[in-house]
Amino acid sequence: MTRNTNLGAILFFSFIVFFFLSLPCCEGIRERKGDAGGGIEGMFVFGSSLVDNGNNNFLENSTAKADYLPYGMDFHVGPSGRFTNGKNVIDLLGDYLGLPSSIPPFSDPSTKGTKIVHGVNYASGGSGILDNTGFIAGNVISLNKQIRNFEEVTLPELRDLVDWRDDGGPPLDNYLFVVGSGGNDYTFNYFLSNSDDQVSLQNFTNNLTIVLSGQLKKLYSLGARKMVVISVNPLGCSPMVLVRAKKELGQCIERLNEAAQMFNLNLRNLVDLLNPQMPLSNIVFLNSYNILNDIITHPSSKGFMEARRPCCEVPSLNEGGNGILCKKGGQTCPNRTKYVFFDGLHPTETVNVIIASKAYASQLQTEVYPTNILHLANI
């Protein structure tokens, strides 16, 4: 009798456990606990060509486009507007976070409805933090305009797709906001100016930081709670700069690198300043400068053979190019995994993999500060 009673209790308990584990809500909880992305539902991306995934494809009168081969030669759909041979840092972060698909570009007319539930990419190659950066590339979308596109177009559409919070605010706590801009403000703005009344580099950098601070605060006011800001890369070591300056291999333009480091120091300090000012928010600083500079300085130890020349054929100004973009249908290096730069400015997918992996899981605060994206995702 006792044995039958115990057996009945075991069967009943097993049924209860099976029933609750079969519920959809519990399935979601189990999957989320096992998800390295910590429940991140999507990304909203702002910035320039290093994080652009095709917005400029849809812009008329823009010369900053990468919608042709050899760009995308290692990407699963071919040329897409990404300024590299394969995936960019945003694609790779999406992989780490377990997002279901690549983030669609805002300018694509099909980016609407359920396509925006997991985020939107607003980045525009050639653009900058300042509105007047990028005129040299024709039509580009400034960072301010990108943020307005998020506010005026995407947010109202999201309201019809997801449940708003009880206080009327957007439910964006589990979205990652990535901002990668600033390099063009130096190379295609400050250092292009020949004006006699040009401000000092320090004053320009301080003003640039103040403008970016306001833009980050604006994103916070719109619901951003988990943000990643990306540093400016070693501007003085890009093939574009080395060719124009006729520098010997191994020598970088220190003035450009000093400008980048000056801005990056301000950016790291800005993270310390803003985190306490914006309740319930967390900002992470990705120091891609240090990561990329380490690769450029010690290429062989990182598995690279070429850290100064571009992988693709880049026409100079005298050849009708701009010293940055690949020649349409031009030749490429035989082994793209051994090159640091794909064109005159942008890294190869192999470098992007290194940057994204360190952004996601590095324990070094010289690479990602004050914590990594894995930890940020789980906060």
Q: What is the mean pLDDT of residues 8-23?
A: 37
Q: State the CATH number of the domain containing residue 61.
A: 3.40.50.1110
Q: Classify residue 204: in a domain, yes or no.
A: yes
- Residues 52, 91, 185, 343: which is the catalytic one? 343
Has 343 been annotated as catalytic?
yes
pLDDT-derived band at 169 (thresholds 50, 70, 90) equals low
Dmax over CA atoms of the chain, in Å, equals 100
Q: 286-319: per-residue pLDDT in tens? A: 999 999 999 999 999 999 999 999 999 999 888 8
Q: Classify residue 110: in a domain, yes or no.
A: yes
- Two structure tokens written together for 89: 């840092």
Q: 269-284: per-residue pLDDT in tens? A: 999 999 999 999 999 9
Q: Classify residue 3: in a domain, yes or no.
A: no
Q: Classify residue 366: in a domain, yes or no.
A: yes
Give the model's pLDDT for residue 213. Answer: 99
Which range has highest mean pLDDT (19-28, 115-124, 313-322)? 115-124
What's the domain count of the chain?
1
Q: 359-371: per-residue pLDDT in tens? A: 999 999 999 999 9
Q: 96-120: per-residue pLDDT in tens? A: 999 988 999 999 999 999 999 999 9
Has 346 been annotated as catalytic?
yes
Q: For the residues of 52-77, what is the DSSP string, one character each?
A: -SSGGGG-TTB-----STTTTTTSTT
Helices (H) and strands (E) in the chain, counts: 12, 8
Using the predicted structure, report yes or no on whether residue 350 has a pLDDT greater than 50.
yes
Using the predicted structure, report yes or no on whether residue 14 has a pLDDT greater than 60.
no
Using the predicted structure, report yes or no on whether residue 225 has a pLDDT greater than 90.
yes
Rounded Cα distance, 47 and 179, in Å? 5
pLDDT-derived band at 167 (thresholds 50, 70, 90) equals low
Q: Classify residue 104: in a domain, yes or no.
A: yes
pLDDT-derived band at 168 (thresholds 50, 70, 90) equals low
Q: Classify residue 27: in a domain, yes or no.
A: no
Residues 6+ away with beta carbon under 8 Å from 161: 113, 114, 116, 117
Q: Classify residue 234: in a domain, yes or no.
A: yes
Q: For the residues of 123-137, what is the DSSP string, one character each?
A: --TT--SSTTTTGGG
Using the predicted structure, report yes or no on whether residue 253 has a pLDDT greater than 80.
yes
pLDDT-derived band at 343 (thresholds 50, 70, 90) equals very high
Using DSSP's 3-state secondary structure scheme, residue 291 falls into: helix
Measure Cα distances from 161 to 116, 146, 155, 158, 354 in Å. Answer: 9, 21, 10, 5, 35
Domain ranges, residue 156: 37-378
Paired residues of 284 in beta bridges: 228
Rounded Cα distance, 275 and 376, in Å? 13
Q: Classify residue 102: in a domain, yes or no.
A: yes
Give the model's pLDDT for residue 245. Answer: 82
Has 213 been annotated as catalytic?
no
- Residues 107, 142, 346, 362: which is the catalytic one? 346
Is residue 324 within 8 Å of residue 315, measured between CB atoms? no
- Residues 49, 107, 181, 362: which is the catalytic one? 49
